Chains A and B, each alone.
Chain A
Amino acid sequence: MPFRRLKNLCRNILRKQRADHDLDQEIHSYLDLLAEEKTRSGMTRDEALAQARRELGSVEQIKENVRDIRMGVSMDNLLQDVRYGLRVLKRNPGFAATAILTLALGIGATTAIFSVVDAIVFKPLPFPNAARLVRIRSVVAAAGAGGGVASYPDFLDLRARNHVFEGMAAVHTNDFTLIGPREPLHILGAVVSAQLFSMLGVSPALGRSFLPAEDSPAAAGGANPVILSGGLWQRQFGSDPAVLGRGIHLGDQMFTVVGVMPPAFQYPIQAEPVELWTTIALDLRGGVNAVAAQRGAHYLDVAGVLKPGVEIRQAQSELAAIAANLNREHPDNKARTVRIVPEIQSLIGPIRDPLLVLLGAVGCVLLIVCVNVANLLLARATGRRKEMAVRAALGAGRLRAARQLFTESVSLGLLGGALGLAMAFASLRLLVRLIPAQVPRLDAIGLDGRVLAFAFLISFAAGILFGLAPALRVSGISLTASLRESGRGAGSGGREHSRVRNMLVVSEVALAVVLLLGSSLLLQSFRHLTQADPGFNRSHVLTFQLDSPAGRADARIPAFYRDVVARIGLLPGVQSSSAVASLPLTGENFLLSVEAEGQPTPMASRPSVDFNAIEPNYFRTLGIALAAGRDFTERDDSKSTPVVIVNRAFAARFFPSQNPIGKHVRPGIGGGAGEPPMREIVGVSGDVKQSDPGSAAAPEIYAPLAQVRLDPVYIVARTANDPRSIIAPARREVAALDRTAPIYHTETLDQYFAESVAAPRFVTLLLTGFAGLALLLASVGIYGVISYIAAQRTHEIGIRLALGARKGEILRMVIAKGLAPALAGLAIGVAAALRLTRLLSSLLYGVSPTDTVTFAAVSLILMGVALLACYIPARRAAKTDPMISLRYE
């Protein structure tokens, strides 16, 4: 009868005094009746009463038992304990403030990090079918890696032949220029297969999804269908529902608006929002030469929703079998296979490990905090031994005493948690700003129900954890021994006590060592990363992107880029200008198969290298050394001999110990249906770290933009002063040339560099902060324990001094006491770190996860700190005046 129980509970709590009185009366009437019975059998009144009392036993005990039963879950005791606990805390404001602040720091930091990790890593994606949503990555079978992108014909075959997917869709993002009544606007959009929306289980807020037939250009007629994002609809179309059915110009093509998505919808999920979607029909125009018509053109991300109950492994083996068949059917193409990963994993892949490392690290800090608070409580528990003994003598059970202590520690934990939550809330915005902007789902970070529940849980768990040591000790107290010890604070219990405290020191030092080692490795790695020579000079370079202008024939676009470069080059303060297809540090690269002169290779087994297209003066503008030969000139155009410049890494790999100048290579581009043309090497450039500063230089080929058309391009300009000062003039120059070609992504190379190291910077910064905090807390912990031990032994030290011990001896003795657990902690920490830092290896650049110098340096630092933490209380102990210390107590 839960309801009655609840009612009784309420009654018992509300009318506690009356119920107590009632019970008292009941027991006394029992006593009276018993005594009366005994007088009737011939005893005197006093004898009878005494006898009855003996038979009754402890009245308080009975009342306690009845109360316990009455309360069911003993709510009353809990309230009483909490009240008592709060009173105790109020009596010791210093202790309470220290404990609560330390806890708030630990819980606040843990909660803040958790809220970030939860939003980015743990929360499901915002689609009904999110749990079954996977990425299907097409990779080169031999390399086992590669871009993971598929060609459209491959995608169609994978989709048609499998039995494990409910739906499958191809996606790639694309730059569009919205030409409207106002300034032309650069818009990031996505080209998708029509099934995407129904596959994800979402539908537009307005209008309709794409129809399956709209994947082919024929069905779309003259105008491709387009669906707008909620945001774009609001900003550019004033939330006008009449936009449905209207035609809009994107570049020089007409599109028909068929739908508007809800504002929150995003796919693909990424940092730069996608503002519109159109169908793959866009890529199928142009017949057999269209990019989507070529089996060799791998450029599409493929997502799929598994049928209910289908495991990823099952789908993997089926799709791999289909891919193997495709390889047999099309032997001209490089053999490929597929890898299926959950969508969420592919989305947050690179940031997942760093975030989990941070969560682990902040968890360590919280553990150290718990150890320190446990230490504080232990010190106080010693002072309260008599109190506890008295309570026990008066009939409080040991369990009750332990429960009292737990209630106090959990109350502490919850108070610390509340303050910590406030700290987390206050620091969250700062924390989010530290996270690299490219990380998806940043906008989902906040203190929601999940985070609150987490904070409550860890506060509670922390309370139990640090309450454990004192509670276990107190519940094992021997009554008589504690009472007999009376005034003597330090007695037989002291030794066992210090063993517990030593263990606490060992564990917190070990935890701090692990964090220190991890952060030192990351710091060194970060230093290497930022100081490594990228092969170019990144300061004073402005870059921006340019859409190809609407209405210009393809053949005239290279000339347009050249005009832009020339005009930018004439701006005051600009020293040099050029254009490039794949800018270093952006992570964009273009892989092409290549065949070198004199090394004939069948198409399917040609190696892939980085391919880039540039305007003349690119090397000068970026400060890249030209090792041999010449730069491109304006005469290297579509009518002249096809030429390329290769980097040193390429020359070393394909023409070892030969002069590459004048040799020929065949990158897989151009030439229509047949073999692509051979191109003559006219120069050798220095190596450039193209994708990220941490990677090794890869072989790379540069071709003139005038001979190889790649879109869109980056305009680059080296300036004498602040590069950002030429943004406005550059915009004016481009608009003067063609106002349908908006410039966007105006950033300096320094900014790109900052972004490329943003993730390691974020992890390194936070981990170093946590490690510093851990070191501080651990040294405070050591200091506290040594002070306590020294204080306890004041008497003994006094005797030793009186007997002629020298101060140096006392100093050594006390320091040794503290150093021993610190050294043990150091040893355990190093042993643990040797295993744990391997988890960091994917984040480390230029430093081994078991770097000896780092380990030695951290060990030395820690020993130094431990020594200092021991020295201060030891010196105080050694300065003891024997007369005073002997009189002490």
Chain B
Amino acid sequence: MSAPRTDLLQGTLDLLILKALALEELHGMGISRRIAQITNGAFEVKPGSLFPALHRMEEAGWLSASWGEAETNRRAKFYKLTRLGRRQLDAETAQWERISLAMASALRAT
């Protein structure tokens, strides 16, 4: 039952999920496809880490879930950002930008 080791990754995954849902609500498959698309295929999120993350974020109140119709009339669970989730997205985006800026300048330094 070893929990996925995602200390750094978890933050990344959360941010990616929040970002993926920023435009519209999506079901699990949709989220993983959207992430692949917006990261140019750099991240492929496996269901083994996706579902625990989604449920954790729902517990945290960032996402809300409801059952709906998918493309081919299949029932699927759709996730969308809550107000809290949108705020979290803004906060994490700002945080990420600070980190990436700092990392970039650190790596440029000689």
Contact = CB atoms under 8 A, between A and B. Distances in A.
A65 B52 contact: yes
Interface in A46-84: 55-57, 61-62, 64-66, 68-70, 72
B51 A66 contact: yes
A61 B72 CA distance: 28
A733 interface: no
B47 A27 contact: yes
B76 A29 contact: yes
B1 A66 contact: no
A397 interface: yes
Contact of A4 (B47, B56, B61, B70): B61
A279 B76 CA distance: 89
A36 interface: yes
Interface string A330-361: 00000000000000000000000000000000
A400 interface: yes
B1 A399 contact: yes
A397 B1 contact: yes
A527 B12 CA distance: 77
A500 interface: no
Interface in B56-85: 56, 59-61, 70, 72, 74-77
B51 A33 contact: no
A33 B51 CA distance: 15
Contacts of B47: 27, 30, 55-57, 62
Interface residues of A, number: 33
Contact of A62 (B3, B52, B59, B74): B52
A65 B4 contact: yes
A491 B75 CA distance: 52
Contact of A30 (B1, B29, B52, B60): B29
A5 interface: yes
Contacts of B3: 65, 68
A61 B74 CA distance: 24
Contacts of A25: 75, 77
Given A34-B29, A69-B59, A400-B1, A29 B70 contact: yes
B110 interface: no
B55 interface: yes
A16 to B, nearest CB: 14
A215 to B, nearest CB: 70
B29 A396 contact: no
A23 B56 CA distance: 13
Interface string B1-45: 111100000000000000000000001110000000000000000
A234 interface: no
A298 B74 CA distance: 99
Given A4-B61, A69-B55, A62 B29 contact: no
A279 B96 CA distance: 78
A26 interface: yes
Interface centre among B3, B47, B61 (most CB of A within 10 A): B47
Nearest to A77: B1
B46 interface: yes
A55 B50 CA distance: 13
B77 A65 contact: no
Given A64-B1, A396-B1, A397-B2, A32 B74 contact: yes
A399 B46 CA distance: 24
Contacts of A64: 1
A586 interface: no
A803 interface: no
Contacts of B51: 23, 26-27, 30, 62, 65-66
B101 to A, nearest CB: 31
A64 B28 CA distance: 18
Interface in A634-679: none
Contacts of A70: 55, 59
A92 interface: no
A8 interface: yes
A1 interface: yes
Contacts of B52: 62, 65-66, 68-69
Contacts of B2: 397, 399
Contacts of A8: 59
A65 B76 contact: no
Contacts of A56: 47
Contacts of A399: 1-2
A1 B52 CA distance: 19
A33 B29 contact: yes
A62 B47 CA distance: 8
Contact of A26 (B28, B60, B61, B72): B28
B29 A65 contact: no
Contacts of A68: 1, 3, 52
A201 to B, nearest CB: 51
A625 B49 CA distance: 95
A5 B59 contact: yes
Given A26-B77, A65-B4, A397-B1, A36 B72 contact: yes
A129 B60 CA distance: 49
Nearest to A71: B59
Given A68-B1, A400-B1, A57 B48 contact: yes
A22 B46 CA distance: 20
Contact of A1 (B28, B56, B61, B76): B61
Contacts of B72: 36
Nearest to A29: B76
A1 B57 CA distance: 12
Nearest to B65: A26
B29 to A, nearest CB: 4
A388 to B, nearest CB: 14
A32 B75 CA distance: 10
A397 B3 CA distance: 10
Nearest to A401: B1
A578 B72 CA distance: 115
B74 A29 contact: yes
B29 A66 contact: no
B83 to A, nearest CB: 14
Contacts of B46: 55, 57
A811 B69 CA distance: 77
A29 B48 contact: no
Interface in A375-406: 395-397, 399-400
B11 to A, nearest CB: 16
A433 to B, nearest CB: 54
B48 A62 contact: yes
A105 B82 CA distance: 57
Interface in A424-463: none
Nearest to A5: B59
Given A65-B48, A66-B52, A29 B1 contact: no
Nearest to B44: A55
A687 B47 CA distance: 93
B74 A33 contact: yes
A64 B60 CA distance: 19
Contacts of A26: 28, 51, 76-77
Contacts of B60: 1
A304 B56 CA distance: 61
Given A8-B59, A65-B51, A68-B52, 7 more contacts: A25-B75, A29-B74, A30-B47, A33-B27, A55-B46, A57-B47, A69-B56
Interface of A: 1, 4-5, 8, 22-23, 25-27, 29-30, 32-34, 36-37, 55-57, 61-62, 64-66, 68-70, 72, 395-397, 399-400
Interface of B: 1-4, 27-29, 46-48, 51-52, 55-56, 59-61, 70, 72, 74-77
19 contacts: A4-B61, A27-B51, A29-B76, A30-B27, A33-B29, A33-B70, A33-B74, A33-B76, A36-B72, A55-B46, A55-B47, A62-B48, A65-B1, A65-B3, A66-B52, A66-B55, A68-B52, A69-B52, A397-B2
Task: Pick the 5 closest A-B CB pairs, nearest first.
Answer: A397-B1, A33-B29, A29-B76, A26-B77, A65-B52
